Each structure stands twice: as structure tokens, then as C-alpha cells.
Chain A
């Protein structure tokens, strides 16, 4: 069955003559492409609305402030958070996670306490905690993965205890697309008195997330992975927790005069939004969410699931291709090609306009657990279609054919000439 994206035409880079010719973009886990609606929102901001917020006393500034707070409400609604004040804007998920590592541990952790992460984590949800534990003298614990990239939940029970202050876990691996079962992990952590942070950087584009239903205490993602622009991250935190957390960045806009005239920190979310926000990116993210709502996100996800099935079938049919990670459908798939390094595969594909990621994916503990030096990763977006997948698999088959030729030559064996025995 030929699958055609219902929204590809909305993405200029994939369609317009000025865009990259014949681009087959299969690296959405690195960043998603942007629909015209998002691009237009950003340029409209600079054309007609540009001003700073929380500073000016003139209509233009007040209007931009309204748009800014409306964007906050849009994200609140997207995540199903109870209150807009529980949504913080940062520069990226990496900044959100560093903020959490600093501020949560400042508020609640002391000598003898520990933080638990998993081997599935992207570097941004691993090293901020490792470093904060080192600086504060806390124990840094890691729930191991299995060699197939799934999570060892049995080990989690031994590692999360009464001194665990925070458990931070991904909702979806950026390497394999595997999604650990979060509810039992969250229940386990809460049962021991630990807070739970979920890194939804990948999951946010492939699942509809509701933070109240999920029950996590914190959740973060990057706008540019949800078809929004770069430069905007989101951190959700329960209001009662944010109130008790110290600021991470200090400077303008997060301070105010107290009743005694002294300078004090503002309440959340302002306390955590020092400096001039990346307004165009925040407004762009809101535009991305509105776009996805308008296009019916559940239908797009259903389309993506069908595409994931086709992707898996196509890759399994490539001779010499080895899939890594757990069984099952996923819009993120990692693999290697016999006889080639991941870099070779990526470069060969790239020469034909097929964009994938190759390397360690900033997920060093997981790659080591899976026994991989590097791998190739295909990650789908709502704009991909059967044509993209056909080009991918054809090019991979071509690489495999060349590999035979080269390996054969090196061994002194010539390939059979077609039509002869």
C-alpha cells in the first residue's frame, strides 16, 4: 500500500523549489521540519510584533505579553497540566533538565541521598544528574537496560529506596524508540517518597501525553522536536513543587521588590525564566501545537504507525541489515549494515539525499549496553511517506550490493557475471 502524507505539502523544505531538492528526511528525532504555519508565525512576530515583554508600558509590549501567556496556556492544554503556572519556558529540554537537576536537588537532597536515572537516557537526562551528584556528594544510581535496549524494571526495585530523591527517566529512547512502562516506575518511586521527572523529548511527537494521567512530577521536552522552532524548551512541574525550588538562572525578569522593599525572586513560572525569553520560538511552538491540533494529531499518529509498519517491513527485506533494539513497531529504528560502519551507511545514504543519523546518538550508556560502537537511526515524521521509505531501502540494498563486490574483490573472488554460471 502506498502511504501518502496528509501534511507533506505544508512543509516548505520538502516541497518548494527553493528547498533541498529530493530531500528524504528521516532524522526527525534530531529535529523535525517546520510547517509553513510555524515559519509564518516567527516571521510575523518580527515583522509586526517584536518587542520585549514584562518591561514596556506601551500597547505593543502588552500585546506581545498576551501572546506569550497565551502560548503558555496552549502548552498547558497540550500536556493536560492543571495550571498554566506549571509550564516553564526554557531554551531546550537540555536546559530544562539541567534546571531540574540543580533546583530539585538543591531543594530536597542532602548527604546520603541518591538520584536514579536509567541506561536508556540521552546525555541530557544523564550527565546533569551525574554532575550534580558529584558536586553535592550524592549517590548516582543507574537502572540498567537489557542488551536489547529494554529496561530492567526488576533492578529498579533494588535501586529506588527511601533515600532516593528523584528518578529521571525517558518516555521514549532516542536510539530505539522503546518506551519504558512509566506508570509502575512512577508508582514505585512515589511509594518510596521520590519525585519523578520524565524526559518526553522524543515521546511528545509520537504520543499524546497527559501529565495528570501519567502522574509524573516533572516533564520536559524541546519544541523543535514537536515541529516547532529551535530555541524553546518546556518544563512542566507540579505547582507545589516549583514553589519550593530555588532559581537556576539569575538576572532580569525573575526578581521583584518584596513588601519590605528588598529584592526577591518571583513565584513560578517567572522565577525560572530569567532574561529575555526566546519569544519567537515560544510563539512558534504554540503555532506548531495549534497546527497539530488543526490537522488532528491522533489521525497523524495513526498515519505514522502505518508508516512505522512499512518501515520495519522494508528494513527487514534489506540483505545484510541488522536491526537493533526490541521487537515491535516504532517510528525510531536503529540498525547497522554488515561490512560497513554506521558512518559509511549515513554518508552513502546522504549522497542520494536520504538523511539519517549515524553515531552514538548522545546515548553512550545505552550504546555500550547494546554492544554497539555506533549505529544508523531512521526516525519518522508526519511528512514522510512510502516514497521516502522506498528510496531508503533501495539505497540500502544498493550499498549491500556494492559491499559484496568489494568484499569479494578483497578476498580475490569475483562476483558472477549476470547470465552465466
Chain B
């Protein structure tokens, strides 16, 4: 049968599979054919796998997530030759459910970036407009799903690396509650922020994939029990209280087209029966970026210390041990990881710790408390996911700070460990706009409910116009 991978949802594919109308091998082959056709232009994949075991749907996996026997580069030259000898817990969960790994998707190096331009292997292009970025750091996974190269994918989110690419590529991405998905076997960037999450075409697909990967893990002591997933069915929003924080919705830098599309979606939510009310996050947005760009680099400076050429990865020779380590790291790391490692080391160093990292940890408490207070009155809060639609490749490359601003709206809730769902809510200038729904910790089901109802009412066509 002829499969339209551009339109097929994971749920639909599963129905066909269960009914015996298509085999697992045929599904895998269809996505491989799509990759062969469209990936030379998009470069969503760093590695494509041969079919091997499994009886279910294919899945693409961001290349910071460890997969046994399959190269895992984290988008870095340092790990160009690294092949993990063990599976990450999330990969194990996927395999246990019969999911088959299609390949590893492109990412900003060590998950540091908002455009996938920091990948040492070249950028990924946005399926809606190949001159534009797919977002980052998980641009590969988002582009793969939107271009019909995979029915769904795994990404990872530290400051917005799942949500923002989903917004820029027009699909659904979930950043789970911190601790509900294991980080074992995932290349660490910032350990108190990193979370693996699903990227898919629909909220229901996202919810299902979350249920596959979530749960307490003995190998990751920062995990806790995840909420039991309820696949959303209700298509109205009666009884749901949605907050619209002024600071998230009127921040400087939000494009008018983005603002309009999000406003229309929020009005639609009210039309579906939700109680919508304006509210405030007085300091979380204003101080969120500063807080994140101290905490995350500090944690990264520690996490990336392991890349020393001793036990794995690419090694540069040196006359002695110290020279070998310096040459390995200097030669193998790109500029963005270097910047973040240095800012992190600075913020943690003697004499500066209290003024920078110490203060950032206190600001983190402020952000968490502000969100908790809001969630006493609301079930979720809504805003744009990204201030802009997909920008041009190269447009922000010269200014690290300009790039960091892409995360303005996704970062605050990340600092609080709270879950966030991005769903496509419209177009601005022909490019997708994402609506971000954030809830209190463990409120994934509430997010799925709101997201699903809105998705049905919006009827957004997730297939890029140029590919239809």
C-alpha cells in the first residue's frame, strides 16, 4: 500500500499495523524512502539505521541520547567515533515496546543552541523553508517529524530544546516534568534541567510516546514516579482555567504575527469553554534568561569536564597528559560549548560564586515560587513558545546573546522543573507559530487535555506547504 508519511500519525500507523494492513518492515521502508528523498536537502539525520529487530513503529532519536551499537555524537566532533556500549533507559523503553530506531537526529553541539547551527556536522534545514532554521537544539527531530521522515521522535529539552523546534517546525513537543523521564545514558548538558521528551504530529501521539519513556529508573536517582498518562479525548475546555501571563505574552521581541496567532488560539480556548484570565509573572521572565545562562553553563562546565580524550571519543596527541587533554578539548569542541564552559567556570570560581551562581540559585527559587503561586489559580498558562517564527540560517549566528533570546519564553518554566507542551496554532508569514502551555509539576495530563482540544479546534495542517 502507498503510505503518505507526511500525513500519517503514529496512532494511524499503529491501527494499520494492528489490522495487518501494513507490516512493520513496510512502515520502516516507507520512512527510509522518505529519508532518502528529502533528507539530502534537510539534513535532519546524522546517522540512518538498517532495519534490525522490533515489530512496531519506527522512531527517530536525537543524537544526545545513547543507543547501543549506534553512533552517538551529540553533534560534536569530539564524539565523532563514539559508539555506546549500552542503551540509554529511554532507548531501552522504546525497544521494549517494539519501536525500531530509524536513525539519530541532528542537534546543536552538546544540546547547546537554539537553531541546530551549532552542530559540528552542519545545520538542519526547516522543512517549511530550507533557508531557515528548524530551531534548536533538537532541530533534527522536529524537522524529521514535520517532513514525514519519522512518525515521531525523541528530543531533549534543557531550556526549550524540544518546545522551540516544535514551534518553528509546526509540530507537537513536550518538555516533561523534571524527573519523570530518566537521563541515564543521555549526554548530560545541565543535570538539574535536562529532560528527554517526545516530538510528534499530534498531542495524542506525544502523550502516548511520553507514556513509553516515562517512569522512575533505578539507574537515575533523580527520577520520580511519572503521572499515569490519560490519552486525551475531550474536545471542549469546560472547567479549565487558563492563565495568560502578561510578561510572557507581551515580552519585547515577540513578532506581531506570532502574537496574533497565539491570541487567536487563546480566544479559541475561551470559545471552547475555558476560563481565560490575564495574570502576571513579575520576575520570572525578566530574570529567567540571566538565571538560566548562569545555572546551565555552570552545570555544563562540570558535565563536559569528562571529555578529556582518556576513555572515549576523539583524542589529539600531546607530549604529556595535560597537553593531550588541552589539545583534545580545544580541537574537538565548538565555540558555543567553549563559551558556556568558560562562563560556567567563571560563575563557579572562587570569589565569584556568591555573586553569580549563588544569586542565580536564589533567583531560581523566586521563579519556582511565582509559577507555583499562579498554579493555585490556574490549571495551565499560555503564551507563544518562541518570540519569532523560524529565522534565516546565519541570521543570529554572529551574536550569542541574540540567539539566547530565542529561549526567553521557554526558559522560565524549565527553571521551575515544570512541564510544557508546544502545539502549532497557526502561521505567520507562511511559517508555523507555536503555542506554549505550561502546567505545574506532574500536570502532563492537563496539558494533553488542553492541547488536544485546541488541536482539534484549530485544525492546523502540519504538512509544510511546499511538501504538500
Indicate whether A and B interact.
Answer: no
- A residues contacting B by CB (< 8 A) are none
**Chain B residues with a Cβ under 8 A of chain A:** none
